[in-house]
Structure 1
Amino acid sequence: MTSSGTCPIAHGANIESGNTPMAWWPKSLNLDILHQQDVKTNPMGPSFNYRNELKKLDIQALKKDMTDLMTNSQDWWPADWGHYGGLMIRLAWHSAGSYRIADGRGGAGSGNQRFAPLNSWPDNTNLDKARRLLWPIKKKYGNKISWADLMILAGTIAYESMGLKTFGFSFGREDIWHPEKETYWGSEKEWLQKSGGEGSRYSGERVLENPLAAVMMGLIYVNPEGVDGNPDPLKTAQDIRVTFARMAMNDVETVALTAGGHTVGKAHGNGNADNLGPAPEGAPIDEQGLGWINHKTRGIGRDTVTSGIEGAWTPHPTQWDSDYFRLLLNYEWKLTKSTAGAWQYEPIDIKEEDRSVDVEDPSILTTPMMTDADMAMKMDPAYRKISEIFSKDQAYFSETFARAWYKLTHRDMGPKARYFGPDVPKEELIWQDPIPLGPKDYGVEAVKTKIKSSGLSISDMVTTAWDSARTFRGSDKRGGANGARIRLAPQKDWAGNEPERLARVLAIYEKIAKDCGVSIADTIVLAGNVGIEQATKAAGFNIAVPFTPGRGDATQEMTDIESFEVLEPLADGYRNWLKEHYVVQPEELLLDRTQLMGLTAQEMTALVGGMRVLGTNYGGINDGVFTDKVGTLSNDFFVNLTDMSYSWKPTGRNSYDIVERGTGKTKWTATRADLVFGSNSVLRAYAEVYAQDDNKQKFASDFIAAWTKVMNADLFS
């Protein structure tokens, strides 16, 4: 027999989706969301510190090179009118525009646009070319500038090069090195799927599914041709309002961003979209990561096809000016189609001076256009009023846009303590969740002594510290214990924080903080540590819980109530609590919260087991408290979970009895958030480690390490 033509590998390099364990057992809990960005994917190594590299960066030289790039047109992808500004603005915009407030995911903070699925979204067509144009600069400055920072800087420099006085810029975004595959972008099975039917992200009267913000899979915001591609500016306005609100923008910011984005650059649809090749992730190997290549007809310059819409919005698309509002409001517009077949609007009786020149030949005049989204700025009453104000006050429009652009491109960076560089504005903005610095030099032991004599239980101390810190989201660096916002609206009234119990505990902490001259935020965390140290000592171990002082106390005036409402936990598997029953299972909600907090599966296992035996369940319920020594940091949760002298009997949708096999008596009760650590093969492997007789101290040490990570997650200074 000949081996010619046979496959020389056992298909380990390209596992088809149909052969994965999740395909065979789709109801198995998928822990991949906790393994994203494993250190093994990072080529820089554990000693690499981006902040230290930034200190070596020649920022002025970088900005000069970036400015020069804008007008250095390349034959392989020529710049419109000899200026790459519009392309670079779109690159930055679409990098930042995937952010959503519901879970803080998306956005520009990690350079995720380099990877699938974002690099191949229909709305990101030809942004692969923008990143390749930036490559010589990235190559030159190397480790001193991340892709994440570079893409946003490109858009900001583009605006400055066209005449806008920007509000500021910060470096500090660190790159990831692997796609965030587990981010939920929608359940559609095809790109640009219309609403309605299976997989639709809308229900009822066009209610957009949480946490989604865009109207379709593969779009950043709304469909520029209209709802489901059907032109209707008033319906589009409704989509715009919801979408931009879910990206943290109000009506004024929305109009400013729409107009400012369309004051410069153009849309591309002068050709046949069917001639475009596959997106980068589906392109052949010889295209080397580029996509949408046109091998049939000329597909560059004036013949480029991107969105399918064709034309510039203003007569001078490389200048920052007020022409967008002048044309939009003063002309009547009629519906038409581009060469590529996309719906768009053209002005009636356009004056010659209001036409723009062709991107390649200045002797050719072209007609400006507007999209359905642009017409919404004219037709929607609220947007129209704002547009008219902007049209009469260019200075106000420019300042409003500059601030909105800064917010758009920095919203997911977190507090100002993470910002870096000479162009960081001195002003601290409400959306940055400002927190004053707290005292650092004080007698920690004296405060601990006060806490110990307060009469508070271990459960009270640990629970309050946990509730304060669990709001932290690694996605956009919001929430956490710093600021002690748990004592302010809206957090003090959240059901998951047990407001009555919380008020009782906080009253004691406020007195201790005042007497000792420390922040309430530090007092809350320090009290949690005291409770754990007491529980550890009861288990026979003398392990100190690390503490970092310096947290400050935010005020109500520093807290945007509406913005913080999205951080409210609707479930907390660590405290065995559900606000109500949901379509997704409690263990899936636990994974989502764990990933947002930046914890691993092993850290989650240790924390849940410890929280159960410390008696921190919501409302004092006994589910999962597999111990007769509540308040002792023992490994009893794991010992009894893995003990085969018990059986597990379902008693309801999310309730189980733990029954003694010999007597048939119910020993304990549990929820799915408890039993998953025995049923899931990976989590059970961790649970068995902690159940071993020789790992009691290891469990206590691992719990304390994970606890400290949660308490310090938001200490960026």
Structure 2
Amino acid sequence: MDGHTVEGDLNESTRGSGGSGGKCPVMHGSLTALGTTVMDWWPNALNLDILHQHDLKTNPMGPDFDYHEELKTLDVDALKDDLRQLMNDSQEWWPADWGSYVGMFARVAWHAAGSYRLSDGRGGGGTGNQRFAPLNSWPDNVNTDKGRRLLWPIKKKYGNKISWADLMILSGTIAYEVAGLKTFGFAFGREDIWHPEKDTYWGSEKEWLAPSDTRYEEVSKPDTMENPLAAVQMGLIYVNPEGVNGVSDPQKTADQVRETFARMAMDDEETAALTAGGHTIGKCHGNGNADDLSPEPEAAGPEYQGIGWMNTKGRSVGRDTVVSGIEGAWTTNPTKFDMGWFDMLFGHKWELKKSPAGASQWMPVDIKEEDMPADVEDPSIKTMPIMTDADMAMKVDPIYNEICQKFMADPQYFEDTFARAWFKLTHRDMGPKACYYGPDVPQEDLIWQDPIPTGSSSYDVAAVKAKIAEAGIPLADMVATAWDSARTYRGSDKRGGANGARIRLAPQKDWVGNEPERLSAVLAKLEPIAAETGASVADVIVLAGNLGVEQAAKAAGVDLELPFAPGRGDATDEMTDAESFEPLEPLADGFRNFQKTEYVVSSEEMLLDRAQLMGLTANEMTVLIGGMRAMGTNFGATKLGVFTEREGALTTDFFDVLTDMAYQWLPVAGGTYEIRDRKSGEVKYTASRVDLVFGSNSILRGYAEVYAQDDNHGKFVKDFAAAWTKVMTADRFDLAS
């Protein structure tokens, strides 16, 4: 010992520059609020966090928890009864408007589901992500935190038998039932996440409700909005209720509504129905000053316990509530599902006014007292109804107006259209019906569910593989075709994948990345085999890919037999909404060194995005890249990244070359690289940025080095086989049921 006491060491470690005493005895490098991340130091570094989120370490339920098994024990009728009781059981801490929470829970469910966008399948209510930042603190989600707290006693009671994701969506459906709507159905099956979703890009703005100009090439042309975004401003679910950038113009708002809802998978009729039905119950809140609200949940102090937006100069509740800033109900009877929205909008002339909070809103020029909604606390007091710019858009826009006239002429048709649109809104991100659970799942197959008929599993798998082997299809083509068929799968909304063999249908058969000529030639040999043996084309495509991988492994000296489960079906054109499949087109696929054109986003970042959508880990992505390069499956048969003299064999050559310092890597024209022998200067191979990132990124290099080790060739083949099988079966929800 050198004479220093423990106390002395502690005192030394807590000294700082400036000030004296009271220093925090914790090493500042571990403070999450103050620590500097790798991305802070090197903002252009490749961030692999997108592949590491939702690790089992964040899940308190443990690896053995099976939500679908828990659902089998759920008393659905009792749960629904408890929700119905809640709808009219006003709580003292957060009193219900008119004594009813139907508007509250319709909004909780709507705003959970409404963040879905078709372009990448992300968002939506399928994971319960409304509980976490940033969604729990979006300006458009004001007071949904109160709805979740009102639901907590029910969640507490039923526990593991009901996820937050299912409960929030079910609460909105029950709200509409209590209001008088005959709903279309409901499916359980949404599994909760336990950590904010880092994979969803909500926009580049650094402030809430920043002007929407930053999202458009030209605001007057809504279709120029940046992909994959759908909402018009940061922090909104859909459009600004006060108008484009807060400036009222119903026709311009109609144009934004049309584009936004289309990006959320809704057509004009569904959009009009959702607008009318969504605003038939509940009200807007703006009877106060928004500047008096406490911070949003994520910014509020611990005394708020996760509750935000409390009125610091008022009661916060009843007529003293501020949410959107707009104040008033849309209909005469805001707790009833009826035709009141149409009666109000089309039965009056409207003028632009200001709410008590200063927000722009439309109010009737003249209205009878009996047609006015009652005050939320005192039924003897009548209040003025309102319309937002989005409501007025339904009247001003000729297409929406025509649809509304159709609804008014046939209220039953409107109710059915809304019920179906509500079901689509709240189930769009759940995937096919194989993912649905519960007694209220509709029997009808809907085209947006991407229906696939059940395929045969009674054929002789070995005989089919033998016929494929005799067909003379090049190994790389068998592997590439199976990969192209399966790579469309998106874990975000469980769409795409090999099941259904939609790669042979429009639009997929014509996608550039699927190499239509090569694809057509391969299918010409595989489809007759399917017809002859009774197997589906989908099964034959995957079997051919498996056969190619097995042959490649054998060429590398490893006997491999991949697992295979028959039963995939073949979809038809009639079962396929071709327009909604367009966003699934791969604009880049680093696994095959394909990129349709140059983009602002780097090719390696696009690789990460595709890998995450496919549900792959960073290690799985790495081993798949190495194997695909070794087998020569590149788009257009390019030699980029094919670091081997044994093309077609499932070797570790890709990793061997990448980690061998006998080579140097030099950039050349076109964003590609040459790999030269350091001694001779001879060009040995060529590479893309995607190839070289597995040597340049420190994390990915760590994985690459594992497979480059002399003792890990067997591990490489085993890991590749597991990752390949994961991709080929990602959409086989029938196997898990």
TM normalised by structure 2 equals 0.96
Q: Which of residues 689, 692, 697 is equivalent to 2:709?
A: 692
1:571: which partner in 2?
588
What amino acid is the match of 1:459? A
Q: Number of residues paired by the alignment?
A: 715
1:386: which partner in 2?
403
Shift of 1:250: 0.6
| Shift in alpha-carbon separation, 1:202–1:265, aligned structure 2, 3 A | farther
SS in 2 for 1:412: coil
Shift of 1:393: 1.3
Shift of 1:299: 1.3
| Shift in alpha-carbon separation, 1:12–1:91, aligned structure 2, 3 A | farther
Alignment partner of 1:424 is 2:441: yes
1:558: which partner in 2?
575
1:148: which partner in 2?
165
Q: Which of residues 459, 464, 469 is equivalent to 1:452?
A: 469
**Alpha-carbon distance in 2 for matches of 1:188, 1:312:** 32
**Alpha-carbon distance in 1 for matches of 2:119, 2:402:** 29
**Alpha-carbon distance in 2 for matches of 1:390, 1:128:** 34
**Alpha-carbon distance in 2 for matches of 1:17, 1:648:** 38
Contact 1:335 1:344 in 2 (8 A): yes
**Alpha-carbon distance in 2 for matches of 1:316, 1:68:** 20
**Alpha-carbon distance in 2 for matches of 1:14, 1:558:** 54
Shift of 1:183: 1.2
1:496: which partner in 2?
513
**Alpha-carbon distance in 2 for matches of 1:201, 1:683:** 35
What amino acid is the match of 1:608? I
**Alpha-carbon distance in 1 for matches of 2:210, 2:265:** 25
Q: Which of residues 107, 116, 126 is equivalent to 2:124?
A: 107
2:241: which partner in 1?
224
Alignment partner of 1:670 is 2:684: no
Alignment partner of 1:79 is 2:131: no
Shift of 1:181: 2.2
Contact 2:28 2:35 in 1 (8 A): no
Shift of 1:201: 4.6
SS in 2 for 1:184: coil
2:502: which partner in 1?
485
**Alpha-carbon distance in 1 for matches of 2:29, 2:539:** 50
The one-character-per-residue Cα deviations of 1:150-200 (angstroms, maximum 9, x if unpaired) are 00000000000010000000000000000002310001110000133xx54
2:652: which partner in 1?
635
Q: Which of residues 697, 700, 709 is equivalent to 1:683?
A: 700
Shift of 1:425: 0.4
Q: Which of residues 41, 61, 70 is equivalent to 1:24?
A: 41
Shift of 1:671: 0.3
Shift of 1:18: 6.8
Matched ranges for 1:400-549 at <5 A: 400-549=417-566
Q: Which of residues 289, 307, 318 is equivalent to 1:272?
A: 289
Contact 2:491 2:613 in 1 (8 A): yes
Contact 1:125 1:292 in 2 (8 A): yes
SS in 2 for 1:378: helix
The one-character-per-residue Cα deviations of 1:282-309 (angstroms, maximum 9, x if unpaired) are 0001111111122222211111101100
The one-character-per-residue Cα deviations of 1:334-388 (angstroms, maximum 9, x if unpaired) are 1001101100011011011110111111111111110111000000111111111
Question: What do you get for the CA RMSD once the two structures are aligned?
Answer: 1.1
1:236: which partner in 2?
253
1:703: which partner in 2?
720
SS in 2 for 1:231: coil
**Alpha-carbon distance in 2 for matches of 1:580, 1:510:** 31
SS in 2 for 1:667: strand
Q: Which of residues 668, 684, 689 is equivalent to 1:651?
A: 668
Alignment partner of 1:596 is 2:641: no
Matched ranges for 1:42-81 at <5 A: 42-81=59-98
Contact 1:186 1:201 in 2 (8 A): no
What amino acid is the match of 2:254? A
**Alpha-carbon distance in 2 for matches of 1:164, 1:559:** 30
SS in 1 for 2:212: coil
Contact 1:195 1:202 in 2 (8 A): no
Alignment partner of 1:88 is 2:105: yes
SS in 2 for 1:403: helix
What amino acid is the match of 1:714? D
**Alpha-carbon distance in 2 for matches of 1:521, 1:6:** 66
What amino acid is the match of 1:308? G
2:308: which partner in 1?
291
1:132: which partner in 2?
149
| Shift in alpha-carbon separation, 1:61–1:307, aligned structure 2, 3 A | same
**Alpha-carbon distance in 2 for matches of 1:571, 1:160:** 45
Shift of 1:709: 0.2
SS in 2 for 1:583: coil
**Alpha-carbon distance in 2 for matches of 1:8, 1:103:** 46
1:347: which partner in 2?
364
What amino acid is the match of 1:525? V
What amino acid is the match of 1:630? E
SS in 2 for 1:673: helix
Shift of 1:16: 4.1
Shift of 1:58: 0.2
Contact 2:431 2:493 in 1 (8 A): yes
2:326: which partner in 1?
309
Q: Which of residues 135, 140, 153 is equivalent to 1:123?
A: 140
**Alpha-carbon distance in 1 for matches of 2:445, 2:485:** 23
**Alpha-carbon distance in 2 for matches of 1:356, 1:56:** 43
Contact 2:253 2:393 in 1 (8 A): yes
**Alpha-carbon distance in 1 for matches of 2:251, 2:63:** 52
The one-character-per-residue Cα deviations of 1:608-639 (angstroms, maximum 9, x if unpaired) are 00000101000100000000000100000000
Shift of 1:543: 1.9
Shift of 1:63: 0.2
Shift of 1:17: 6.8
**Alpha-carbon distance in 2 for matches of 1:118, 1:165:** 30
Shift of 1:441: 2.2
2:378: which partner in 1?
361
**Alpha-carbon distance in 1 for matches of 2:536, 2:199:** 38
| Shift in alpha-carbon separation, 1:52–1:162, aligned structure 2, 3 A | same
SS in 2 for 1:553: coil
Runs of 4+ in 1 over 2 A off after TM superposition: 1-4, 11-18, 199-206
What amino acid is the match of 1:361? D
SS in 1 for 2:136: helix
Alignment partner of 1:10 is 2:27: yes
**Alpha-carbon distance in 1 for matches of 2:253, 2:337:** 26
What amino acid is the match of 2:266? M
**Alpha-carbon distance in 1 for matches of 2:471, 2:417:** 50
SS in 2 for 1:581: coil
What amino acid is the match of 1:339? P
SS in 2 for 1:356: coil
Alignment partner of 1:158 is 2:178: no
| Shift in alpha-carbon separation, 1:204–1:394, aligned structure 2, 3 A | closer
Matched ranges for 1:612-623 at <5 A: 612-623=629-640
**Alpha-carbon distance in 2 for matches of 1:533, 1:95:** 44
Shift of 1:204: 6.8
**Alpha-carbon distance in 2 for matches of 1:223, 1:403:** 25
Contact 2:486 2:728 in 1 (8 A): yes
**Alpha-carbon distance in 1 for matches of 2:333, 2:218:** 42
**Alpha-carbon distance in 2 for matches of 1:545, 1:630:** 20
What amino acid is the match of 1:687? A
